[in-house]
Chain A
Amino acid sequence: MSPEQAQTIFEDTRQRFAGAADDTRLLQYLVDIQHRYHFIPPPAIEALQQILHLTRAQIESVIDFYSFLHSDQAIRYRILFSNNITDRWAGSAAMMQRLTVALHGCEDAGIALTACSGLCDQGPSMLINGRAIGRLTPSRIDDIAALILSGVELEDWPESLFMIDNVIQRSDRQLALSCQPAAALRRAIELGPDLILQTLNESGLRGRGGAGFATATKWSLCRQASADQRFIVCNADEGEPGTFKDRLLLAQYADSVIEGMTIAALTVSARRGFIYLRGEYRFLLEPLQADLQRRREQGLLGSAILGQAGFDFDIEIHLGAGAYICGEESALIESLEGKRGIPRIRPPFPVTHGYLGQPTIVNNVETLFSVERILQKGAKWFSEIGTEQSRSSRLISISGDCEEPGVYEYPFGVSLRQIVQDCGGSDAQAVQMAGAAGTTVLARDFDRCLSFEDLATGGSFMVIGKQRSLLDMLQNFAWFFRHESCGFCTPCRIGNHLLPELLQRFAEAQATGHDLRQLKDIAETMHRSSFCGLGSSAPTALSDALEQSPEIFTAGMASSSDNPAFDLSAATREYRTITETESW
């Protein structure tokens, strides 16, 4: 980079951000810079240091944390293949191989793997400079290679490549209901905060992120907390491998979600809200911005909403940048504040000490969507289906070995057998519930039910066909967690680092009894002592397999010996190479 170029970047960066310099927007600035220059050039960092009064190390540590940000060099086309297990089953490795061969020697392109990109119902998929491309086929790969080799700007690529389908395979009462902008909001204004909370309470709505905390309770706690400001955050960091129903909601039901946020703001007197949109869903940014703008123009956002003096609320969208941990609500808040996404100590919880230390409601996209439904149709309408502890219905994202992947809405209490049958997964040996961190349910247990009482899910439902290797799936999950552990606490940072190598011994049929014991011990330690849910649930599928499917491990064992596997010939290879080299 010439001094002139550097100077230009420095000035440009300063001008773009100096006006409203706000260090909580650091990540947003970095995302923008990355997008603009295909990396974060050093002069841009210097400019940010100057206008935000941050140290170089503080800025670089944020860059280093997010996998979509790079400070090393500009690469014009950064290609990330989604490495979710469903993408692999759909043949992503061959696609990646094909593109790698086609682009061999091309310095403009970099190819790597990333975690689930949320297109499991239309995999294999990839991201190129953050834009998603699904339904990869050899011919689409060849098209992409040709475009890159001829240096066509991404903006000029055919739109057909970037088409994303939003497939609803089964609707129940929530999806079937159309959104009538402002209907629910008007109702909420009529009711006022106390009755809104009462309605939510009667509806039995529980958070759809996975933990299932009662929404009314969360909102009440936030409302009761004494504070100067309160915030509403929509958690659209849908990172659980295999889930994509939030993507569908944001694409087709954005008004409902935004209205749910607005109702939350009304209830707790919040003036600002955020949609934390995962970087992989960058293609939703512009449509969502348009939705927000439209609602502002309709008087549904901004000041004096629907003419109510003092009801002021607006929403901004923050983009994530490739960090699964940011789906954890306290890590998400750190990220919203422009920092590395490291979970916070709890208590205190975000509901009393969240964004900027103020009470903050963090709700899943689907939860906010349901809020709008409830306010539109009433608590009774919502709660009359479902089970005792799990009222109403929920959305699940079905992918993997089934004929009809897509989003399904089911009343709680539905059996797995029913779901598997509906989606055409007749050959399933098991279902992976709730993503890589979830539980593996074998076919023999398909009578179990979808509900908080039995099998909770964040929305991911991956069907595992009989032809699939469970060990391969575990290795894929281990790769995922090694990639996504934030590194804060000991068991998660180190445990997740060690597991892939151990599993590899089983894959190579070299493992021993010692290795098996070690797998169990590491999983147990991570489960018992990790700081947050990522670490404690990372070994869930592994533990399930150890308990339910011991045969997949015994098949990978060379002996039941207490001695660990050790490959002597691998360990002496370097010496032989050295001593056989004549050039010394």
Chain B
Amino acid sequence: MAHKLKIASTSLAGCFGCHMSLLDCDEKIIELLQQVELSRSPLCDIKQVADCDIGIIEGAVANSENVEVIRQFRAQCKTLVVLGACALNGGIPALRNQYSLAECLQESYIDGMGLENQLIPQDEDLPEILDQVYPVQQLVKVDYALPGCPPRADMIWQCLSALVAGQQPELSSELIRYD
């Protein structure tokens, strides 16, 4: 029996829209899921990313936990596929880079409307927030970047189905949309 490719996926600071676009491959996703083995992914209960053939990341890097996860993925996955504007240029979360972190926290937890009390959350179990939102490729090497918010399903499909078939994906301009 042919070796089933192992795939992991996760979302960092993002909205999950890229995973949604992956599911927008519709019936084809059933086909794809049967051809691969899932490692850590939102679709299953496997908790840790193991050695994988393909890792899929969406979302930007905004806190210390994101940094840890992205580094784990890079270390464990042979091929890293990065989805979406947040991951590739910070996307909407990067609008926060227009302000300092202090200003953002101040607005949410001190000056916000309808607050009963005022304090900045801080707990040993909470990850530390980064000074700004960073794109993924400023931390780790990216093998395939699929832009878009989210990348269109046909682009994701083109990329993943080629990788699963052991081919080099062709991401031509007709598939590329940044918005």
A/B contact in complex, CB under 8 angstroms: yes
Interface size class of A (residues with CB under 8 A): 10 to 19
Are the CB atoms of A566 and B67 closer together than 8 Å?
yes
Are the CB atoms of A563 and B120 closer together than 8 Å?
no
Partner of B128, one of A561, A562, A575, A584: A575
B14-35 residues at the A interface, CB under 8 angstroms: none
Q: A578-B105, A579-B122 are in contact. Are A572 and B140 (CB under 8 A)?
A: no
Binary interface encoding of chain B residues 116-132 relative to chain A, with 1 for a CB under 8 A from any of its CBs, else 0: 00111010000011111
Q: A568-B67, A584-B110, A584-B119 are in contact. Are A576 and B141 (CB under 8 A)?
A: no
Q: A564-B138, A578-B102 are in contact. Are A572 and B120 (CB under 8 A)?
A: no
Closest residue of chain B to A578, judged by CB? Answer: B102
Asked if A574 is at the interface (CB within 8 A of a chain B CB), the reply is: yes
Contacts of B100 in A (CB 8 A): 574
Contacts of A571 in B (CB 8 A): 67, 130-132, 134
Asked if B43 is at the interface (CB within 8 A of a chain A CB), the reply is: no
Binary interface encoding of chain B residues 129-153 relative to chain A, with 1 for a CB under 8 A from any of its CBs, else 0: 1111010011111000000000000
Contacts of A562 in B (CB 8 A): 141
Are the CB atoms of A576 and B128 closer together than 8 Å?
yes
Most central of A570, A573, A574 by chain B CB within 10 Å: A574
By secondary structure, the B interface counts as mixed
B109 to chain A, nearest CB (A): 8
B87 to chain A, nearest CB (A): 15
Partner of B131, one of A561, A564, A574, A584: A574
Asked if A514 is at the interface (CB within 8 A of a chain B CB), the reply is: yes
Are the CB atoms of A572 and B139 closer together than 8 Å?
no
Docked pose: A570 CA to B140 CA in angstroms: 17
Are the CB atoms of A575 and B129 closer together than 8 Å?
yes
Q: A566-B67, A574-B100 are in contact. Are A584 and B118 (CB under 8 A)?
A: yes
Contacts of B134 in A (CB 8 A): 566, 571
Are the CB atoms of B141 and A514 closer together than 8 Å?
yes
Docked pose: A575 CA to B134 CA in angstroms: 15
B139 to chain A, nearest CB (A): 5
Asked if B74 is at the interface (CB within 8 A of a chain A CB), the reply is: yes
Most central of A570, A571, A576 by chain B CB within 10 Å: A571
B64 to chain A, nearest CB (A): 6
Contacts of A570 in B (CB 8 A): 131
Docked pose: A563 CA to B105 CA in angstroms: 30
Contacts of B50 in A (CB 8 A): none
Docked pose: A564 CA to B140 CA in angstroms: 6
B95-118 residues at the A interface, CB under 8 angstroms: 100-102, 105, 110, 118
Docked pose: A491 CA to B119 CA in angstroms: 46
Are the CB atoms of A575 and B101 closer together than 8 Å?
yes
Closest residue of chain A to B131, judged by CB? Answer: A574
Contacts of B64 in A (CB 8 A): 568, 572
Contacts of A563 in B (CB 8 A): 71, 74, 139-141
A531-584 residues at the B interface, CB under 8 angstroms: 561-564, 566, 568, 570-576, 578-579, 584
A510 to chain B, nearest CB (A): 13
A42 to chain B, nearest CB (A): 30
Q: A562-B141, A574-B101 are in contact. Are A584 and B120 (CB under 8 A)?
A: yes
Are the CB atoms of B119 and A572 closer together than 8 Å?
no
Docked pose: A573 CA to B100 CA in angstroms: 12
Are the CB atoms of A574 and B102 closer together than 8 Å?
yes
Docked pose: A265 CA to B145 CA in angstroms: 61
Are the CB atoms of B118 and A575 closer together than 8 Å?
no
Contacts of A574 in B (CB 8 A): 100-102, 131
Are the CB atoms of A566 and B139 closer together than 8 Å?
yes
Closest residue of chain A to B104, judged by CB? Answer: A578
Contacts of B120 in A (CB 8 A): 578-579, 584
Contacts of A584 in B (CB 8 A): 110, 118-120
Contacts of B102 in A (CB 8 A): 574, 578
Docked pose: A561 CA to B119 CA in angstroms: 41
Contacts of A576 in B (CB 8 A): 128
Closest residue of chain B to A570, judged by CB? Answer: B131
Are the CB atoms of B101 and A578 closer together than 8 Å?
yes
Given A571-B130, A575-B129, A575-B130: 11 more A-B contacts, CB < 8 Å: A562-B141, A563-B140, A564-B138, A564-B140, A566-B134, A568-B64, A571-B67, A573-B131, A574-B101, A574-B131, A578-B120
Which 8 A-B pairs rank lowest in CB-CB distance, beginning with the nearest?
A562-B141, A579-B122, A572-B128, A574-B131, A571-B130, A563-B140, A575-B129, A566-B139
What are 21 A-B interface contacts by the 8 Å CB criterion? Answer: A563-B74, A563-B139, A563-B141, A564-B140, A564-B141, A566-B139, A571-B130, A571-B131, A571-B134, A572-B130, A574-B100, A574-B101, A574-B102, A575-B128, A575-B129, A575-B130, A578-B120, A579-B122, A584-B110, A584-B119, A584-B120
- A-side residues, CB < 8 A to B, are 514, 561-564, 566, 568, 570-576, 578-579, 584
